[in-house]
Amino acid sequence: MANSSAAPIMLELVDEDGITIGTAEKLSAHVAPGQLHRAFSVFLFDDRGRLLLQRRALGKYHSPGVWSNTCCGHPYPGESPFAAAARRVGEELGVAPALLREAGTVRYNHPDPTSGLVEQEFNHLFAGLLREEPRPDPEEIAEIAFVTAEELAARHATDTFSTWFMTVLDAARPAIREVTGGAGGW
């Protein structure tokens, strides 16, 4: 469920090596030019090797209505990226991954031309398997789709995706190939 409390959501600010150097309120960390902060991105696959994509809910203040990876977000200060990734998969999709493994990190700076916000992130990547039927939270996710690599390429050519999507997907590909065993064309 979306956070409905009045307390601000805080993020961990990090240096170029991913070492925590402080905290900032979530929205302020994304205001141009952005502050480098810790994030995570999850890629979950079914038994056929198809990637679960999500189209972000239209009510989200940042990147609404665009397609993206299975789940992404920010650890709370002091929360491990792995714990945060597992937590958010449960909150957004109503399921727990059958397998979730680290898939490296990637650092990027992606301005969002629509909102003017900036994704300046040190992103921890995770790949895993999903063996349950997702139950998306409509406040977070407008739509889901399972796709092969070929289907993703066709969809990416016609639909709008998050500014960070290809950066995190490309960085996670070696671990994705291990998790899927090459199924789905990854």
Dihedral pair phi/psi, residue 109, rounded to 5°: -135, 100
Q: Are 68 and 54 in contact (CB under 8 A)?
A: yes
Give the residue numbers marked as catalytic. Answer: 72, 121
Q: Which residues contact 94 (CB under 8 A, 6 or more apart)?
A: 134, 135, 136, 137
Q: Are 68 and 162 in contact (CB under 8 A)?
A: yes
